[in-house]
Amino acid sequence: MGVSRLPSAALTFKQFLQRQKVLGIYRNMMKTIRQVPDQTDRKYLSEWARDEFKRNKNATDQDAIRMMITQANKHLEEMKTTLALAKS
């Protein structure tokens, strides 16, 4: 009865929620980048974002991950603000 059906590498609930948050930030960032008018800038930003997320893909330290989430949210807000200013 003590045998778990979950694989040994299963995420904890907190890790699952954190993963969902990271994926949401990634999706929002890519969606925001698609609004950049210049194709060269758009390509650069999407490659930058993809590389940053790939580089940190295997991070396990919860404090470091929280810090990266905070930084990613700041970058996302800066992009949105810059785009809004460029459109006005």
pLDDT of residue 8: 63
Cβ atoms of 35 and 79 within 8 Å: the answer is no
21-71 residue pLDDT tens: 999 999 999 999 999 999 999 999 999 999 999 999 999 898 999 999 999
pLDDT at 60: 87
Residue 45 one-letter amino acid: L
Confidence band of 3 (pLDDT split at 50, 70, 90):
low
Q: Residue 22: which of 79, 78, 55, 81 has the closest Cα?
A: 55
Question: What's the pLDDT band for 7 if we cut at 50, 70, 90?
Answer: low
Alpha carbon distance, N-terminus to C-terminus of the chain: 64
